[in-house]
């Protein structure tokens, strides 16, 4: 057939990872780019997310690190003149941008054709009114809903429908600004907030308690349609699908019911005019066959990434090809290689997705889960029974839970409430309920989770009870052990249940179970995912492990030509797409060097779990137990633990104890860096300074220590990533309160207290060493002073304002440390610098979050070098260094506070950002503007509200305030700030804090009335006060979608940039043209 030939195609990415729009779009975009490449089409990518795989060398022909906004995309179009554009692969961000470009006539002006589903179809699915109208035309039922544009109409609609109602904003990703309202008061609050995100909101009758069922559908231009995957939400309707545990395929629907919904799906997809992929969500009555269509996503989505991974059907790749004009039957199944892509996958396993929340990172956040998404990542488990996948999945989440049972830490006082009002911990409420003898019916009444799931969960609790009757490993019978393994019990869970953990300790206990089961031949088997239920032979090794089997699908080669790279697991705050990038770079290098590359990972949003990246993909747990199972079968040449963040890093010692060949830096040296005591002793020995610290063993000792160093102090456990449970305490009361929380976090490792140094610069060293010699490095500088977590800080590279002497000292110390720890591979050291006084604050003998950023700015792939070193391949130090770079890269953080109701949007030592961008500029100010605009800031038009904290901070903001004033901005300021500005000759209008009742104008009123374009609110200290004046202002800014900055140095940088640079003057340059 004759395809229209496209020469150059532009793909829009999704920007920074945020709640509701995360790594899945790196995966879908990468797939689309691969599909285009296969066709010989030149590809242009706009995506400021520098940590992604899709913005790596060799994926797109040209990459633009600019905001995905109509303004910048038009500029790129004008420059590149592509003949077509893809809008479906960059989430809601790309879709919204595409719709805006179409409506403004930009696409027509430059003759850019939209490939795949057309903008009109997209609008039909995005605008609720149009959507309902279109579905009415084909007799498909939708949720009765009123689209309203004013508060009065919202109230009237709700009265007509009757409470409870649900509110949604049109054109918003992941249910932003959505929620349930039980009465008018709740409606008033939520509706106002939703209006700030969208001019139109929808008021609907709530169908709480119905099932939620999803289908992924693919349609080609000839009208051939297939259903790729059916998915059933474990949680009832009312919990956003991104917040719900999802199981594929559907478990509790009859064939007839599935067929009925599939037919509807295809009817809808054809009627709207989908060419490519779409996702349709249904509400389904548990008591009849009644249904409602909840929504249609005319683009790749989180669910489609999940469906791709769940079935092995590469949805994004296929959707892209269909957009180019192919028919489904003309494409080959990429797993079997000889059947067609026109087929509906049949799975012979069960898949379970579980979201990962990091709500404990946020102060004051509402823990209830509901119609708005709060989770930051997800895992997918594969097995051959529901019990197996749910228990695997719970472990994969990586929050210290061992499965559905045998967890210690959680105990619900009001169990009925915990079941009825679900939180991120609801599964464990169900577990507790079963142990306390609740019936399935009672739990169903409280949770509305289908009884089939509940019964299966009860089976796990029942088996746990049987195990608890067994006294010790010798009394454990083969049948019971086998049954437990089939139900997904880990060796550790069994050890704990039979009392071996208590007797022997964690590791020895689980090893006792492991040895026993191995001696009985109870081992997991490796199965392939083949898309056709075994009907055809799979050519790809997309694998999982199960105890519900008796044979392996694949052979194992004892040739020492395999390298296992351990992946990074669920995306979470502090470990996200950047480690997937690192993993993929390591895997690519391993393959290039002639080894078989094997990955273990469990995150469906990743590119590393794309089966054609590796020779073998084990989509499985990152626990010691499972990793050992795989290592024992594969008998690899070596294992790489340094590119996947903290999870693999933490396995190093345990694997080493089993004589696993760990590549690169030795496990002992990793421990020497991780263990604060050992590390500190080493620094003392080599004469390197660090902030004074002490190990916490009793409150008395701490008291003495603080008497010496004074407040504030930094308190943290020894194994940390993203500052989990790390906090700054400014006084005795805070210290005592915090330690009660932190003590729960890690029992194996002590908590340390260190002196917190204020007004110091933070500097990062990302480097690669070989046998203790640094081969390549990048030094970058935080814009904020120390005290903002390095994952939240705005980072510039190369450093712009460091003394030459500081850089010199940092290099020297880094060399000493590399040598002392015999580093071979990637590592990162964080420094404090005040004047030229340098202190080491942290050292990780693994790749860090900033590796992709510095690698791409420097254009030296640090992971590639590190991997070669770990493989023992000779490398030469790159000729270029950061001193040769004439441009600057700025890495800015993306926050998702708008999704986290009630959380205080203030930054501290604990990481809170969900994503990042990195932009380049010949001038630092260009890069600042590009990156700030990329993470959702807008250049204010007129009015700015300032409240700038302590005297010192006020002073540091003065220049910026003057600049605002002289550039014609109106400054509104709260009491102290107003007075200070007045005294320094900066005109401003005083506004009043919420506590200053009766005084006018009130800051909050101005925010609500949309009179303020930007808020700079600098908290007085680093402690987090809830419900203070500052909190109310900050929270209102977030809830009303008004840009908020809480750091004086960042605010100054941003203000300086937009006051001195006209956004129109920013040159548009692709990555490769920065030289």
Partner 1 sequence: MTVSLVLADGTSFKGESFGYNQPVSGELVFNTAMAGYPEILTEPASRGQLIVMTYPVIGNYGIQPMSADENGLPTNAESEHAQARALIVSDKSDFYSHWNAAESLEEWMKREKVVGIEGVDTRELTKHIRNHGSMTAKILFDGKQKPAEYAYTNMLPEVSVKEPVTYNEGGAKTVVLVDCGVKAGVVRCLINEDLKVVRVPWNYNYSKIKMDGLVISDGPGNPSYCSEVVTALQKFMAKNDTPILGIGMGCLLLGLAGGMDTYKLKFGHHTQNQPVQLVGTDRCYITTQNHNYAIREDSVVGQWKVYLKNLNDGSVEGIYNTRKPWVGVMFHSESDQVSTDAEFIYDDFVSKL
> What is the three-class DSSP state of 311?
helix
The rounded Cα 711 to chain-centroid distance in angstroms is 34
Interacting residues with partner 1 between 292 and 331 (CB under 8 A): 327-329
Distance CA 161, CA 703 (A): 60
CB burial of residue 370 (10 Å; 0-12, 13-18, 19+):
buried
Q: Which of 104, 150, 183, 259 binds partner 1 (CB under 8 A)?
A: 259
Q: Which of 226, 310, 774, 1040 binds partner 1 (CB under 8 A)?
A: 226
Q: Does 495 bind partner 1 (CB under 8 A)?
A: no
Nearer to partner 1, 250 or 597 (CB): 250
First and final C-alpha spacing in the chain:
43
In the complex, the smallest distance separating the C-beta of residue 257 from partner 1, rounded to whole angstroms, is 8
Q: Does 255 bind partner 1 (CB under 8 A)?
A: yes
In the complex, the smallest distance separating the C-beta of residue 355 from partner 1, rounded to whole angstroms, is 22
Alpha-carbon dihedral 246, 252, 255, 260, rounded to 10 degrees = -70
Structural contact between residues 778 and 888, judged by C-beta atoms closer than 8 angstroms: no
In the complex, the smallest distance separating the C-beta of residue 522 from partner 1, rounded to whole angstroms, is 14
Q: Which of 103, 104, 254, 967 binds partner 1 (CB under 8 A)?
A: 254
Nearer to partner 1, 553 or 689 (CB): 553
Nearer to partner 1, 284 or 969 (CB): 284
Q: Which of 309, 527, 716, 1034 binds partner 1 (CB under 8 A)?
A: 527
Candidate ranges 4-12, 337-345, 503-511, 992-1000; the one touching partner 1 (CB under 8 A): 337-345
Q: Which of 2, 185, 256, 740 binds partner 1 (CB under 8 A)?
A: 256
Distance CA 480, CA 498 (A): 12
Q: In what order do the strands lie in the sheet with 713-717?
A: 693-696, 751-755, 713-717, 727-729
Candidate ranges 345-353, 716-724, 797-805, 878-886; the one touching partner 1 (CB under 8 A): 345-353
Structure tokens at 645: 């963040």
Q: Which of 39, 186, 553, 1005 binds partner 1 (CB under 8 A)?
A: 553
Distance CA 526, CA 933 (A): 47
> What is the three-class DSSP state of 915?
strand
Candidate ranges 118-126, 220-228, 627-635, 799-807; the one touching partner 1 (CB under 8 A): 220-228
Q: Which of 23, 175, 312, 345 binds partner 1 (CB under 8 A)?
A: 345
Distance CA 662, CA 86 (A): 42
- Dump the DSSP string for 812-856: HHHHHHHHHTT--EEEEEEEEEETTEEEEEEEESS--TTHHHHHH
Distance CA 917, CA 828 (A): 20
In the complex, the smallest distance separating the C-beta of residue 223 from partner 1, rounded to whole angstroms, is 8
Q: Does 536 bind partner 1 (CB under 8 A)?
A: yes
Q: Does 533 bind partner 1 (CB under 8 A)?
A: yes
- For the chain, helix, strand, coil in percent to 5 are 40, 20, 40
Q: Which of 346, 635, 999, 1009 binds partner 1 (CB under 8 A)?
A: 346
In the complex, the smallest distance separating the C-beta of residue 386 from partner 1, rounded to whole angstroms, is 6
Distance CA 418, CA 431 (A): 11
In the complex, the smallest distance separating the C-beta of residue 46 from partner 1, rounded to whole angstroms, is 33
Interacting residues with partner 1 between 885 and 904 (CB under 8 A): none
Site string (835-864) toward partner 1, x via CB under 8 A: ------------------------------
The answer for residues whose C-beta is within 8 angstroms of residue 1034's C-beta and 6 or more apart is: 904, 905, 906, 1015, 1017, 1044, 1046
In the complex, the smallest distance separating the C-beta of residue 113 from partner 1, rounded to whole angstroms, is 21
Interacting residues with partner 1 between 456 and 485 (CB under 8 A): 456
Q: Does 260 bind partner 1 (CB under 8 A)?
A: yes
Nearer to partner 1, 383 or 889 (CB): 383
Candidate ranges 244-252, 465-473, 583-591, 1054-1062; the one touching partner 1 (CB under 8 A): 244-252
Q: How far is CA 521 from CA 407, 479, 966, in A?
A: 27, 12, 78
Nearer to partner 1, 541 or 548 (CB): 548
Candidate ranges 18-26, 101-109, 222-230, 847-855; the one touching partner 1 (CB under 8 A): 222-230
Distance CA 112, CA 87 (A): 12
Which residue's structure tokens are 């509901």? 370
Q: Does 350 bind partner 1 (CB under 8 A)?
A: yes
Structural contact between residues 562 and 637, judged by C-beta atoms closer than 8 angstroms: yes
In the complex, the smallest distance separating the C-beta of residue 350 from partner 1, rounded to whole angstroms, is 6
Q: Does 253 bind partner 1 (CB under 8 A)?
A: yes
Q: How far is CA 193 from CA 188, 703, 1037, in A?
A: 9, 45, 11
Nearer to partner 1, 364 or 549 (CB): 549
Structure tokens at 486: 């089939």
Structure tokens at 112: 């850019």
In the complex, the smallest distance separating the C-beta of residue 463 from partner 1, rounded to whole angstroms, is 14
Alpha-carbon dihedral 989, 995, 997, 1003, rounded to 10 degrees = 30
Q: Which H helix or E strand runs over 295?
A: strand 291-297
Number of residues in contact with partner 1 under rule CB under 8 A:
58
Q: Does 1063 bind partner 1 (CB under 8 A)?
A: no
Q: Does 110 bind partner 1 (CB under 8 A)?
A: no
Site string (955-994) toward partner 1, x via CB under 8 A: ----------------------------------------
In the complex, the smallest distance separating the C-beta of residue 601 from partner 1, rounded to whole angstroms, is 22
Q: Which of 2, 288, 559, 659 binds partner 1 (CB under 8 A)?
A: 288
The rounded Cα 418 to chain-centroid distance in angstroms is 26
Neighbour tally for 459: CB within 10 Å: 17
Alpha-carbon dihedral 401, 402, 408, 413, rounded to 10 degrees = 50
Strands 42-46 and 62-64: parallel
The rounded Cα 396 to chain-centroid distance in angstroms is 15
Structure tokens at 895: 């926050």
Q: Which of 43, 371, 548, 606 binds partner 1 (CB under 8 A)?
A: 548
Candidate ranges 174-182, 249-257, 575-583, 980-988; the one touching partner 1 (CB under 8 A): 249-257
In the complex, the smallest distance separating the C-beta of residue 1043 from partner 1, rounded to whole angstroms, is 48
Closest CA to 598 of 623, 561, 551: 561
In the complex, the smallest distance separating the C-beta of residue 537 from partner 1, rounded to whole angstroms, is 8
In the complex, the smallest distance separating the C-beta of residue 131 from partner 1, rounded to whole angstroms, is 23
Q: Does 1056 bind partner 1 (CB under 8 A)?
A: no
Q: Does 141 bind partner 1 (CB under 8 A)?
A: no
Interacting residues with partner 1 between 355 and 394 (CB under 8 A): 384-386
Interacting residues with partner 1 between 401 and 460 (CB under 8 A): 450-452, 455-456
Which parts of 421-573 fold into alpha helices (H)?
Answer: 426-435, 440-447, 451-469, 478-486, 491-497, 500-504, 506-519
Closest CA to 882 of 863, 866, 904, 858: 858
Q: Does 1 bind partner 1 (CB under 8 A)?
A: yes
Question: Where does this chain bind partner 1 (CB under 8 A)?
Answer: 1, 222-226, 230, 249-256, 258-260, 263, 266, 286-288, 327-329, 339-340, 342-350, 384-386, 450-452, 455-456, 525, 527, 532-537, 548-551, 553
């Amino acid at each position: 057939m004759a395809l229209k030939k496209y020469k150059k195609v532009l793909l829009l990415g999704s920007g920074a990872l945020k709640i509701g729009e995360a790594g899945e779009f790196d995966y879908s975009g990468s797939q689309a780019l691969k599909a285009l490449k296969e066709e010989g089409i030149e590809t242009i990518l706009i995506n400021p997310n520098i940590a992604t795989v899709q913005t790596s060398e060799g994926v797109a022909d040209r990459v633009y690190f600019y905001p995905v906004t109509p303004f910048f995309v038009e500029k790129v179009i004008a420059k590149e003149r592509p003949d077509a554009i893809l809008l479906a692969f960059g989430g809601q961000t790309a879709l919204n941008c595409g719709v805006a470009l179409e409506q403004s006539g930009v696409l027509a002006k430059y003759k850019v054709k939209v490939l795949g589903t057309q903008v009109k179809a997209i609008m039909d699915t995005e605008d609720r009114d149009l959507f309902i109208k279109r579905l009415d035309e084909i007799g498909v039922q939708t949720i009765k809903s009123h689209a309203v544009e004013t508060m009065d109409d919202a109230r009237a609609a709700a009265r007509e429908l009757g409470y409870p109602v649900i509110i949604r904003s049109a054109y918003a990703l992941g249910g932003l600004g959505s929620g349930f309202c039980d009465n008018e008061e709740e409606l008033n609050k939520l509706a106002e907030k939703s209006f700030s995100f969208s001019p139109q909101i929808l008021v609907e009758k709530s169908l709480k308690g119905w099932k939620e069922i999803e289908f992924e559908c693919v349609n080609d231009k000839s009208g051939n349609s297939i259903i790729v995957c059916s998915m059933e939400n474990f949680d009832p309707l009312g919990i956003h699908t991104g917040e719900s545990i999802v199981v594929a395929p559907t478990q509790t629907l009859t064939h007839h019911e599935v067929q009925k919904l599939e037919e509807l799906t295809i009817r809808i997809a054809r009627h709207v005019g989908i060419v490519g992929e779409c996702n349709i969500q249904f509400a389904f009555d548990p008591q009849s066959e009644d249904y409602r269509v909840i929504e249609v996503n005319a683009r790749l989505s989180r669910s489609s990434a999940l469906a791709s991974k769940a079935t092995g059907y590469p949805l994004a790749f296929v959707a892209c090809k269909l957009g180019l004009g192919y028919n489904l039957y003309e494409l080959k199944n990429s797993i079997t290689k000889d059947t067609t892509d026109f087929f509906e996958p049949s799975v012979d396993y069960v898949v379970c997705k579980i979201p990962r929340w990091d709500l404990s990172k946020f102060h004051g956040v509402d823990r209830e889960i509901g119609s708005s998404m709060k989770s930051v990542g997800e895992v997918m488990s594969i097995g051959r029974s529901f019990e197996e996948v749910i228990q695997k999945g719970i472990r994969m989440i990586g929050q210290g839970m061992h499965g559905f049972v045998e967890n210690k830490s959680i105990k619900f006082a009001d169990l009925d409430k915990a079941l009825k009002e679900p939180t991120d911990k609801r599964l464990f409420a169900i577990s507790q309920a079963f142990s306390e003898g609740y019936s399935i019916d009672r739990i169903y009444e409280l949770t509305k989770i289908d009884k089939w799931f509940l019964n299966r969960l009860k089976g796990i609790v029942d088996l746990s009870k049987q195990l608890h009757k067994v006294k010790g490993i010798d009394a454990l019978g083969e049948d019971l052990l086998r049954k437990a393994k089939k139900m997904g019990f880990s060796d550790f869970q069994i050890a704990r249940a039979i009392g071996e953990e208590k007797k022997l300790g964690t590791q020895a206990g689980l090893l006792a179970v492991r040895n026993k089961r191995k001696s009985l031949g109870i081992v997991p088997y490796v199965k392939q995912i083949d898309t056709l239920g075994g009907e055809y032979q799979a050519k790809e090794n997309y694998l999982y492990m199960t105890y519900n089997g008796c044979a392996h699908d694949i052979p194992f080669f004892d040739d020492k030509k395999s390298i296992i790279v351990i992946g990074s697991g669920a995306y979470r705050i502090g470990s996200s797409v950047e480690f997937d990038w690192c993993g993929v770079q390591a895997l690519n290098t391993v393959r290039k060097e002639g080894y078989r590359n094997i990955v273990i990972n469990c995150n469906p949003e990743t590119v590393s779990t794309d089966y054609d990246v590796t020779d073998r993909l084990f989509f499985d747990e990152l626990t010691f137990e499972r990793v050992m199972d795989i290592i024992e079968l594969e008998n690899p040449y070596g294992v790489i633990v340094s590119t996947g963040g903290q999870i693999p890093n933490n396995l190093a010692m345990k694997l080493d104890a089993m004589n696993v060949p760990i590549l690169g830096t030795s496990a002992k040296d990793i421990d020497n860096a991780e263990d604060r005591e050992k590390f500190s002793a080493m620094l003392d020995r080599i004469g390197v300074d660090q902030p004074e610290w002490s190990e916490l063993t009793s409150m008395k000792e701490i008291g003495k220590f603080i008497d010496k160093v004074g407040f504030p102090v930094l308190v943290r456990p020894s194994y940390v990533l993203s500052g989990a449970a790390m906090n700054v305490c400014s006084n005795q009361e805070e210290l005592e309160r915090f330690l009660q929380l932190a003590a729960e976090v890690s029992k194996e490792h002590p908590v340390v207290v260190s002196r917190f140094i204020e007004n110091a610069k933070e500097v990062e060293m990302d480097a690669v060493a070989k046998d203790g010699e640094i081969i390549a490095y990048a030094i970058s500088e935080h814009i904020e002073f120390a005290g903002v977590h390095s994952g939240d800080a705005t980072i510039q590279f190369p450093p712009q304002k460091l003394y030459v002497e500081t850089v010199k000292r940092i290099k020297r110390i880094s060399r000493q440390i590399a040598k002392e720890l015999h580093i071979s591979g990637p590592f990162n050291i964080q420094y404090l610098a005040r004047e030229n006084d340098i202190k080491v604050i942290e050292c990780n003998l693994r790749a860090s979050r900033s590796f992709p950023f510095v690698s791409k700015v420097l254009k030296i792939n640090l992971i590639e070098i590190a991997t070669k070193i770990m493989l023992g391949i000779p490398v030469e130090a790159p000729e270029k260094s950061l001193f040769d770079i004439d441009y600057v890269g700025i890495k800015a953080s993306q926050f998702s506070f708008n999704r986290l109701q009630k959380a205080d949007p203030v930054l501290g030592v604990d990481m809170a950002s969900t994503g990042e961008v990195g932009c380049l500029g010949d001038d630092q100010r260009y890069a600042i503007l590009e990156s700030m605009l990329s993470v959702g800031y807008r250049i204010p038009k007129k009015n700015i509200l300032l409240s700038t904290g302590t005297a010192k901070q006020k002073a540091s903001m003065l220049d910026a305030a003057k600049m605002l004033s002289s550039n014609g901005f109106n400054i509104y300021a709260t009491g102290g700030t107003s007075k200070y500005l007045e005294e320094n000759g900066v005109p401003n209008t005083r506004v009043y804090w919420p506590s200053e009742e009766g005084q006018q104008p009130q800051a909050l009123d101005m925010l609500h009335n949309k009179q303020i374009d930007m808020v700079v609110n600098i908290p007085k200290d680093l402690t987090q006060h809830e419900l203070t004046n500052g909190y109310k202002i900050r929270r209102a800014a977030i809830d009303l979608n008004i840009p908020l900055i809480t750091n004086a140095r960042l605010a100054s940088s941003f203000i300086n940039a937009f006051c001195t640079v006209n956004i129109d003057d920013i040159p548009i340059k692709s990555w490769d043209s920065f030289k």
